[in-house]
Each structure stands twice: as structure tokens, then as C-alpha cells.
A = this chain, B = another copy of it.
Amino acid sequence: MRRVAQVVAVRPEKLDEYRELHRAVPEPVLDRLRRCHIANYSIHLLGNRLFAYFEYHGDDLEADLALMAADEATREWWRLTVPCQTPVPQAAPGEWWATAEQVFLME
């Protein structure tokens, strides 16, 4: 299992909408996350930054992310959530959620 931490900015005017959306994430979206070997997934907010943490139990994260992007329910969900966000300056080209570097772990 590997831990993934990611950061994205939230548009201030969309913050309430983002919170509200996440109170009832559609079950097919959650199902697809689980099928893509993602578990213990939480998102946290401070200021205008969202900090996601999840645990990846598969062996090909790229392939699983592609599987998520191919899922219609997930794409519909992203049509709602993406307008609430903007990548942070540290995001790599083409990256939406920027991946952080793990500097410490106590299991």
C-alpha cells in the first residue's frame, strides 16, 4: 500500500458548493474509487487549499486513474467539482491535483 497526498486550490466563490457536493458523493463514484484500489480517502480544507489523502492498494496507479477517467459517473462528478478548483502553482504540466512528497511515516 502506498499513501498519496495531493493538493489543489479551491475557488473561494465555489467553496460552499464544493463542501455541499461532498456531503453526498454519488455512490457510483465511490464504487469506482474502490474498484481502482483507493481506500481511506479524505479531503481537508485550510484557507483556499484542499489536501487529499488516500491509500492506494493496487500496483498501477496510472492505469487505475485512467480507469476512473473512463467512468461516466466519475466524469459527470468531475463536471461538477472541477469548476470549483484550480491547480496550485506547484502542479506539474497536465496535473490537476498536485502530488506532494512524503517526508515522514509512522505506520
A contacts, CB < 8 Å to B = 3, 5, 7, 18-19, 22, 25, 30, 33-34, 38-47, 49-51, 53, 88-90, 98-107
Contact = CB atoms under 8 A, between A and B. Distances in A.
Contacts of A102: 42-45
Contacts of A41: 104-106
Count copies of this chain in the complex.
Answer: 2
9 contacts: A3-B42, A5-B53, A30-B106, A33-B106, A34-B106, A44-B53, A46-B99, A47-B88, A51-B100
The DSSP consensus for interface residues of chain A is: strand
Contact of A7 (B34, B51, B107): B51
A45 B89 contact: no
Contacts of A103: 18-19, 22, 43-45, 50
